[in-house]
Amino acid sequence: MHCRSPTPATPTLVQGPDGSWWATFLPSRNYGVDHYNTGREAFVLPVTWKDGWPVILPHGEKIPYVLPGPSFMKKPVDQAPMTGNFTWRDEFDTVELGKGWMTPRVPKTQWYDGTARPGWLAIHPLAERLDSLLNPAFYARRQQHQVFEASTAMELPAPGVAGGLTAFQGETHWYFLGVRRDGDGAQVFLEKKAGGEVEVVARQAAPVAGRLTLHVEGNEGTYGFGFDAGDGKGVQWLVRDADGTLLSTDVAGGFVGATLGPFARDEREDGHEAHDERKDRNEARDEREDRHEAHDDTHEARDGREQPAR
């Protein structure tokens, strides 16, 4: 298979210890001609020399997804997969999160805790929303495939808190698949921001279960959002035809690509609560945790396409 990228950029030539020449550059894996949700990525291709000039590919030839890599880079793999079809899972059984996790901005407070309960990531909800220019309580990993599945198992949030799984390109373009308590029950909802106001795309009542598993699936420009309450009904999909192009660079701008991960939001001051209760919220935050046990299972299943090295 070949990459259809109109934007390969910033090539750099390097010579290996064996004398071979290679070019690194930043193209994208597109769908629908101009859309790509995985950002620009690092590709490596061999270089030959002709009449004193470097040749990476013949004119007009598409960039290949897979070629033999530099022999001098072969070594034992001691990190999570970065290319090809794979499944990745985080059990949150270490104090620090792995290097693949990131936040939109540098946290000003430590709103996450990996030590209180082994096997769980505790996220202390903040009032900052996903469309804020501050630091929301959101941990993310890059979307690494055009066709993927991702899921997060979580406990039901405390009253006044919404928690769940987010597909996030930036503060102006995202989806939030969330859960909140609703009277004696629970509600699963899907919010969308596509450059304008936040919209509620769908909502559905859910049983008050000890654990819910949220699911996000993507197939190029089409995304699905659902949940499994562990009641034997399997995954109940709120939508399976959501517009995923709003997470693409062509629509949202930028070039870093979309991310996926758990997010928690303190909603108690969104409506009727008084401003002077903020202090009470801060003092009791440690007792109002939204805990997530997440595993992002991402794999290509549509047509077995291989992915470029990143």
The pLDDT of residue 184 is: 87
Task: Give the up-direction half-sphere exposure of residue 232: CA atoms within 13 A in the CB hemisphere.
Answer: 0
Tell me the pLDDT band of 190, cut-offs 50, 70 and 90.
very high
Q: What is the mean pLDDT of the chain?
A: 83
Query: What are the pLDDT digits (tens) for 93-104?
Result: 887 888 889 999
Same domain, 171 and 273: yes
Report d(CA 300, CA 144) in Å as an integer: 10
The pLDDT of residue 98 is: 83
Task: Report whether pLDDT(288) > 80.
Answer: no
DSSP state of 100: T
Residue 85 domain-assigned (yes or no): no
Domain of 69, in residue numbers: 2-73
For strands 21-25 and 212-219, give the pairing.
Answer: unpaired
Residue 48 domain-assigned (yes or no): yes
* Overall number of domains in the chain: 2
The pLDDT of residue 236 is: 97
Tell me the pLDDT band of 74, cut-offs 50, 70 and 90.
confident
Same domain, 135 and 276: yes
Query: What are the pLDDT digits (tens) for 136-165?
Result: 999 999 999 999 999 999 999 999 999 999
Residue 225 domain-assigned (yes or no): yes
The pLDDT of residue 77 is: 62
Same domain, 179 and 48: no
